[in-house]
Structure 1
Amino acid sequence: MTVINHQQDVQNLTLTFVVQFDADIERVWQIWEDPRQLERWWGPPTWPATFVRHEMVPGGESRYYMTGPGGEKSAGWWKTTAVSAPTRFAFEDGFAGEDGEPSGFLGSTSCTVTLEDLGGRTRMTTVTHFENVEQLQEMVKMGMEEGMAQAMGQIDGILAEPAPQAG
C-alpha cells in the first residue's frame, strides 16, 4: 500500500486518506462489498471487526462490532447512502449500543469512498465528513486517525490472496 495523502482538514471538517493498491478496481471493490473480507481489515489489528449485517445498497444498513485485546467490544453502524459499483459509495457511520442500533454517541459522520482505475492498480480515496470541529477533534483524540491508517495497512495482505469465488 502506498499512502499518497493523509490529511486532517479542520476548516472543511474532513479526514482524508488516499492510498494505492497493486490490484485492479474490481478486486479492491470486493474488500468493501464482501463482509468477510471487510471485517478482516475494518478496524486496527488489535481491534478486529465482526460484521453481523452488511447491506451495500442505497438505504442498506450494516452493523458491526470490534473486539479489543481484553475482550471489550465497541459497536458501530453504517447506513449506505449511495452506491456506484465499482467506483464509489457513501455511508453514514456512528457508534452503536449493545443492541447494535445507533446510540447517538458523538453523532454521526458521513464517508465517501472513491476507487480510481490506474490500469491494473487502484487508487482509493476515503473522505470522512464530521458534523463539527468538536466531533472531529474528539474522534481523532480517540484514535480514529491512527486506527484508520492501521486498518488500511491490512488491505494489501487480503488483496494478495486469490479473490474468493462468488456463490
Structure 2
Amino acid sequence: MTVVESRKDVDTLTLVVATELAAPPEKVWDVWADPRKLERWWGPPTWPATFVHHDFVAGGEARYYMTGPEGEKAHGWWRFTRISPTDGLAFDDGFADDSGEPQEGGPVIHGTVTLDGTATGTRMTITSRFDTLEQMEEVVAMGMLEGITGALGQIDAILAEA
C-alpha cells in the first residue's frame, strides 16, 4: 500500500488520504462491503475494530467499536448516504456512547470514498469533511490522520488473499 496523498485543507474543512492498491476496484469494494474484512483494517493496528451492525445500503447504518491496547473501547457509528458498488460510497461518521448510539453534540464527519481503476489496480481516495474548523482540529489532535494511515496499511494483506 502506498499512500500517494495526505492533506489537510482548512479552507474546505477536509482531510484527504489517497492510496494505491494492487487490486481491481471490485476487490477493494469488498473491504468495505464485508464487515468481517472491514473490521480487519478499520482502525489503527493497535485499535482493531469490531462491527456489531453493518447494513451496507443507502440509508443503512453501521455500529462498531475499536478496542485499545488496554482493553478500552471507543464506539462509533456510520450512516451510509450513498452506496455505488465498485465506484465508492459516502457516509456520516461519528462517536457513539457505550451502547453504540450516536453521542449528542459530537462531531459528525462526512466521509466520501472513491475507487478509481488504474493500470496497476485501484486508487482509493478517502475524503473527510467537517462542519467546523473546531471539529476538524479536534479529530486531527486525536490522531485521525495517523490512524487512517495505519489502518490503510492493513488492507494489502486482505487483498492478497484468494
TM-score band w.r.t. shorter chain: over 0.9
Partner residue of 1:165? none
1:18-167 correspondence runs (5 A):
18-104=18-104, 106-162=106-162
Aligned length: 162
The structural deviation recorded for 1:98 is 0.7
Cα distance in 1 for residues equivalent to 2:3 and 2:143:
18
Cα distance in 1 between the residues matched to 2:26 and 2:120: 10
TM-score of the superposed pair, with normalisation by structure 1: 0.94
Quote the Cα distance in structure 1 between the aligned partners of 2:105 and 2:121: 38
CA distance in 1, matches of 2:104, 2:155: 29
What is the TM-score when the length of structure 2 is the normalising length? 0.97
Answer whether contact 1:25 1:120 (CA < 8 A) is retained.
Answer: no
Counterpart AA for 2:156: D
| Off by >4 Å, runs of 4+ in structure 1 | none
The structure-2 alpha-carbon separation of the partners of 1:90 and 1:6, relative to structure 1 and needing over 3 Å to count, comes to same
2:146 is paired with a residue of what secondary structure?
helix
Q: Distance in 2 between matches of 1:27 and 1:58?
A: 20
Alignment partners' CA distance in 2, 1:140 and 1:10? 12
| Post-superposition offset of 1:2 | 1.5
Structure 1 counterpart of 2:158, one-letter code:
I
Question: Counterparts of 2:89 and 2:127 in 1: how far apart (Å)?
Answer: 11
**CA offsets 1:13-53 (integer angstroms, 9 cap, x no match):** 00001101111111100000000000000000000000001
Answer whether contact 2:3 2:149 (CA < 8 A) is retained: no
Gaps of at least 5 residues in structure 2 are none
Deviation at 1:4? 1.1
